[in-house]
Structure 1
């Protein structure tokens, strides 16, 4: 009996000590959990971006090395580009050729337009001249006929008066013919009519002069009395005047010829304008080919896809690389973040857009970030309830914080400690 009691007392002491130890340990653990819940930690994280060529080829130059800080758009490496450069020059030559064709077509159009205008002017001049020649010829025929009739009938006072009138009419016709000849000579100097047109008007002028002289003779004959040779001469002049009238009427056909020239010039203008459109289309195609070649030439330059730091180099100068091969790996510094895990009991009122204060454990510096996402964490971050009555599961939420600005001392991977939400 005396031996059993010490054993019981020892067992009870062990039980009481163990219970005290477990209670103390649980309290310490609970205090640590509280601290971790209130001030969790996370790491500065960033994206790792691969820099790749859009086309395959042989690497001719790499301008950076591991650890270099680069800016977005900075040239990092080059591919061999001799063939593409040749295509660019070829495309530029094609553009220049197309522009030359446009200029040539425009010159042809201007020439055709000038010929058209010249033809229109020629039609108008020819039409006016032909009608004037017909009228002059008719007047000459009338005058010659009157002269012949007067010679046959003998000179009377009325006939003398008529001879005077005919002389005046012939003089007027001569004056008109002289004016026409002078005008045609002026237009010939301007290149508006041909020499043949001037020659025709000159013929009319000579005819008018002859008829004026004939009228003068008829007037003299009326005053002096006709002679047989005068009658024959008058009849000859009448026949000449009638022939001139037929010639003038025949010259009206030249108007249609000139109108045909205008139609041909109009067709030439349309053809030249079509050539301009074709050349312009060729220029557009050549420019598109040049743009395509220059675009491919730009693909031979490897540029930094983001601001960051060169992490690694996967190709060497002289190597052949394919399209999309990651020549360089860049750690982006454009956007960096940290992801904290907090229990649901600690994020009440936390929303996207809130500003969060944090401390860099390595330097003690304070930084501020913005909440970008609040998402439920996986099951491993869930605190399971014990068998104790009244306890429930507690879920954790991943809080992604975008780090707006970081000090120069901050690098990816450093530890941040959560301080809490800030105002503003």
Structure 2
């Protein structure tokens, strides 16, 4: 083949290659334009953005007092039942001492009622009954002699009546002494014992009530977790129910989303979706929806112009991680990609 022919063949091949490149460029530009138009017509939906929240409990005293010391710091892990703060409650301590004193007095009173009279008092009552009975026997015998003499006409009626009156009075005194001795033996009446028992129970209940308040001298963590905030420090006054510190339970966390109702289709209780947590650098984390409820501030529907539709409600959707995620903490952002 001559040089001229080779040059012509090379030129032909170059033309074909240029045409292929031109067609490829045009195709790429067309594809890019079509893709741009499609993206403009159907832009990607923004992801649902939520935030991790945790169960937080405020630790406070049931009675007002002054914080004596706080034993933990924010961010510190605590175990269930651990003492996290101590209070200074002098008024409660004084009331507890008073209640215990009243309880001891009530118990002593009940013991007296239950035991009845002391042995010496019972012996004295028995001796009094014997003395009165002996006097009654003597007066009865004296009356019998006077009555015999009166029948024979040897004594006057006046003396006879006097002897009879003494006999009857002595018999009444002996009967009264016997009843007093029987009462000493029997002890207190059932009503007195019941009243004493009720007073003792009441005093014990007061002690228990005040003691339960005095237990707030030591504030304890109700469950294991992490100290979120230390609200009050040593020396500050704490009102009843005002938190001294808060503890968050890291084992009870959930992600909270605010979702408008037009985006709710497909989101139901029990639904599991994939999410990513930027703070952990992880995606594909399974979350399971357990709660859907309208937000209070958006719960009331308000109509707009009939030709422009209507207002949408916003719902709070809560979802818990299916498995425990190490390092997951309240406040972290949770993102869920949406598909058309």
TM over 0.5: yes
CA distance in 1, matches of 2:242, 2:296: 35
Matched, 1:27 2:35: no
Q: Which residue of 1 aligns with 2:105?
A: 97
Of 343, 362, 366, 2:285 maps to: 366
Of 206, 210, 213, 1:293 maps to: 210
CA distance in 2, matches of 1:401, 1:346: 16
After TM superposition, the structure 1 = structure 2 runs for residues 260-279 of structure 1, keeping only pairs within 5 Å, are: 260-264=176-180, 273=190, 275-279=192-196
CA distance in 1, matches of 2:262, 2:242: 47
CA distance in 1, matches of 2:177, 2:296: 91
After TM superposition, the structure 1 = structure 2 runs for residues 12-411 of structure 1, keeping only pairs within 5 Å, are: 25=36, 27-29=38-40, 32-34=43-45, 36=46, 40-46=48-54, 48-71=56-79, 74-108=82-116, 197=134, 256-264=172-180, 273=190, 275-304=192-221, 307-333=224-250, 335-341=252-258, 347-348=264-265, 350-352=267-269, 354-361=270-277, 362-364=281-283, 366-375=285-294, 397-403=315-321, 406-411=324-329
- Per the TM alignment, residue 21 of structure 1 is displaced from its structure 2 partner at its CA by 9.4
Consecutive unaligned residues of structure 1, counting only runs of 5 or more, are 1-19, 120-187, 205-237, 380-390
CA distance in 1, matches of 2:96, 2:50: 52
- Per the TM alignment, residue 328 of structure 1 is displaced from its structure 2 partner at its CA by 1.8
Does the C-alpha gap of structure 1 residues 294 and 27 become closer, same or farther in structure 2, counting only changes over 3 Å? same
What SS does structure 1 have at the residue aligned with 2:210?
Answer: helix
Does the C-alpha gap of structure 1 residues 265 and 62 become closer, same or farther in structure 2, counting only changes over 3 Å? same
CA distance in 2, matches of 1:295, 1:372: 37
CA distance in 1, matches of 2:135, 2:242: 83
CA distance in 2, matches of 1:199, 1:266: 18
Does the C-alpha gap of structure 1 residues 305 and 341 become closer, same or farther in structure 2, counting only changes over 3 Å? same
Alignment size in residue pairs: 280
CA distance in 2, matches of 1:393, 1:22: 36
- Between Structure 1 and Structure 2, the one with more helix by share is 1
Does the C-alpha gap of structure 1 residues 262 and 369 become closer, same or farther in structure 2, counting only changes over 3 Å? farther
What SS does structure 2 have at the residue aligned with 1:33?
Answer: coil
CA distance in 2, matches of 1:416, 1:281: 61
CA distance in 2, matches of 1:199, 1:376: 95
Alpha-carbon displacement from aligned partner over 1:240-289 (angstroms, at most 9, x marks no partner)? xx99xx999x9687654443334545777686555434433432342233
CA distance in 2, matches of 1:378, 1:340: 15
- Between Structure 1 and Structure 2, the one with more strand by share is 2
- Per the TM alignment, residue 50 of structure 1 is displaced from its structure 2 partner at its CA by 3.8
Q: Which residue of 1 aligns with 2:330?
A: 412
Q: Which residue of 1 aligns with 2:302?
A: none
TM-score (norm 2): 0.59
Q: Which residue of 2 aligns with 1:168?
A: none
Does the C-alpha gap of structure 1 residues 67 and 263 become closer, same or farther in structure 2, counting only changes over 3 Å? same
Q: Which moved more, 1:400-409 or 1:290-299?
A: 400-409
- Per the TM alignment, residue 376 of structure 1 is displaced from its structure 2 partner at its CA by 7.6
CA distance in 1, matches of 2:316, 2:133: 102
Alpha-carbon displacement from aligned partner over 1:138-196 (angstroms, at most 9, x marks no partner)? xxxxxxxxxxxxxxxxxxxxxxxxxxxxxxxxxxxxxxxxxxxxxxxxxx9xx996696
